[in-house]
Amino acid sequence: MCGILAVLGCADDSQGKRAHVLELSRRLKHRGPDWSGMYQVGDSYLSHQRLAIIDPASGDQPLYNEDKSIAVTVNGEIYNHEQLRAQLSSHTFRTGSDCEVIAHLYEEHGENFIDMLDGVFSFVLLDTRDHSFIAARDAIGVTPLYIGWGIDGSVWISSEMKGLNDDCEHFEIFPPGHLYSSKQGGFKRWYNPPWFSEAIPSVPYDPLALRKAFEKAVIKRLMTDVPFGVLLSGGLDSSLVAAVAVRHLAGTKAAKRWGTKLHSFCVGLEGSPDLKAAKEVANYLGTVHHEFHFSVQDGIDAIEDVIYHTETYDVTTIRASTPMFLMSRKIKSLGVKMVISGEGSDEIFGGYLYFHKAPNKEELHRETCHKIKALHQYDCLRANKATSAWGLEARVPFLDKEFINEAMSIDPEWKMIRPDLGRIEKWVLRKAFDDEEEPFLPKHILYRQKEQFSDGVGYSWIDGLKAHAESIVTDKMMSNAKFIYTHNTPTTKEAYCYRMIFERFFPQNSAILTVPGGPSVACSTAKAVEWDAQWSGNLDPSGRAALGVHLSAYEQGHVLANIAAGTSKTPRMIKVVAPGVAIES
C-alpha cells in the first residue's frame, strides 16, 4: 500500500506552501518508502509515497493521461487492470502500473467508472481542464482514507489522519464505497450491492460456487512483481488462504519470477495456540514457514507506536494490531513486500463466537451486514495500518467484491450455528472446502474453533495488557473518566490507558470522533450484546468473553473479583465445552 495526500483549493500556491505539503506527506513515508512524488497545479497539490508492488521500475506517481491534463494519486491495487487496458485500446499508457487505468477511465466515462474497478483503492483525481476533482474509496474500506476541510476553503484528503489533522478545521473518515465530487460538492455512494439493504436473502447454499468464488479471489491477489507470502495463524481463514494460494501458485507470473514455494508467517508468544497450529498447517501444505516470537513486554513496549500508526484507541484493534505490527517488521526485514491475509471471513459468515447465541437467521444476517459495514474501522484498519507501518502490503481475498456478493446471497439459515446438526461457526465455509478426494486442510484444522488473533497469539498477551493498565491507571482516574473523556468514555483501565496515548498524538475532537464505541462482547455490535443476558456483565472484546461457548472462556465474575481484591493480575481459565462443538487436538 502507498500513502496519498491531496490539498485542493488552498488559495496558496507559494513555494512555502509546497514545502509544507511535502513535509506533511513525509508523515506517510512509512506507507511508501520506495519513492515520493508531487504534482502541483496552482493552489492544488497531489502528493504520493510509493510502495512499489506492480511495475516497480516505471510506475511512480502521480499518474497522468496522455497530455497530463488529468492527474491521479492512488493507494491500492486494481486486479482487473489488464482487462481494462484492453477496453481502452485507443489510449496511450505511460507505465505498467495497474493504477494508471483510472486516469484513462475518467477520460472515457467521467465520474461513472468507479464500479468498473475490481480491487482496493483510495484515490484523488484532478482534472486541470476545469479545475475539478474527484476522490473515491473502495467498497469495504480496505484502504484507509480521511477527508478534511480547511478554514480557507481547502479540501484535504489523506491516507492517514496524521497527514491532515494539524491543518484542518474539521476532518472525518472518508466513507467506504463513496465518491466525493467537487462539482457536486459532496459524497455519493457508488457501491450498492444487493446485501447492503439488509434484506434477508433466500439463495440455497451451493458449496462449490462458494469455493470457486474464494479461489478466484485468492488467485487475483497473486498479482505481484515483488516477493510475497501469506500470514498463517493456523486458524480456518488464514489456512484456507494459504491452501488455495499453494494450489494455484504454480501457474502464475509470480511463480515464474519468485518460485513455486509459498512463504508463510506466524507470530505468537512461546507456546501459543497459533504457533502450534500454523506449524502443522505449514507442514501439511509444504510452505517455507517463518515463526516469530514476542514477549508480553515486547508488545507493551510497542503500544505507543501501534496507536500512532493505527490511529485508534479501540481496545480490540490495539490488542490485535500489536503482534501484527511486530511481525510485519520481521517480514519486511526478509525482503517481502506483500502478504495475503484472512480478514473479513468472520463478519461475512458469522464466525465470532457470540454468533452461537444468534436467536434467528434474520438477526444473524443483519448482524453480519452491520459487521461488514463497520470493517473499515476495525479489521481493515488493523490489517492495513499495522502492516503499512513497515512498508508491507496486506491483501484480503475474503473482502473481494464478487466473493462477498456470493457469500451474502446465501440463505442465512445455513449460517446459523446448529450443534444438533453438527454445524459450528462458519460451517458453510468449512463445508465448501471439505474435499475428501483432494483435501485442502486436515480435518481438525478445517474444524478448529474460532480463535481471535489477539487471543490466538497467546492468552497471556491480553492478560498482560490488563495487568499493565492496572499498574498505570488508578481507581481515582477511572472515577473521573466520564468528565475527562465525555465521548466514548473508557470503562476499563486498559481502554483508559489507550485513550491517554491516543489523545497525546491526536488531540483534536475530530480525531476522537473517528473511533467507534459502544458495548461489545467477543467483537459483537452493541445490538448483539442483547442476545445473552449474562454478557452485559462481562463486556470484553476477547473471544474468551463468550461465556459458555469458548473452550477456554473466562470464569464468570472471577476476573473482576480478583482485580477488585488486588489478589491477581492473571485471570484463571476454566474449560467450557459448547454442546455439539467437537475440536480435535
Query: What type of residue is 305?
Result: D
Other beta carbons within 10 angstroms of residue 179's beta carbon come to: 22
Cβ pair 392, 338 in contact under 8 A: yes
Indicate if 2 belongs to the active site.
yes
Categorise residue 332: left if φ over 0, alpha if ψ from -120 to 50, beta otherwise.
alpha
Largest alpha-carbon pair distance within the chain? 75
Q: How far is CA 577 from CA 449, 550, 557, in A?
A: 11, 7, 18
The owner of cell 493498565 is 469
Alpha-carbon span 179 to 181, nearest angstrom: 6
SS3 category, 64: strand
H helices of 221-252, in order, are 236-248
- Distance, in Å, from the CA atom of 117 to the CA atom of 376, rounded to the nearest integer, reads 19
Alpha-carbon dihedral sign for residues 410, 416, 422, 424: positive
Q: What nine digits make up the cell of 446?
A: 478445517
H/E element holding 509?
A: helix 509-513
Q: How far is CA 344 from CA 142, 417, 496, 573, in A?
A: 10, 18, 28, 28
How far from 139 is each of 10, 121, 299, 376, CA to CA, in Å? 29, 9, 32, 10
| Alpha carbon 161 to chain centroid, angstroms | 16
Q: CA-CA-CA-CA torsion for 543, 545, 551, 555, nearest 10 degrees? A: 150
DSSP states along 409-437: TB-GGGGS-BGGGTB-TTHHHHHHT--SS
Alpha helix (H) residue ranges in 334-458: 345-349, 361-373, 379-388, 401-408, 427-432, 443-446, 453-456
- Catalytic residue among 2, 168, 380, 497, which? 2
User: Helices (H) and strands (E) in the chain — how many of each?
Assistant: 22, 17
**Catalytic residue numbers, as ranges:** 2
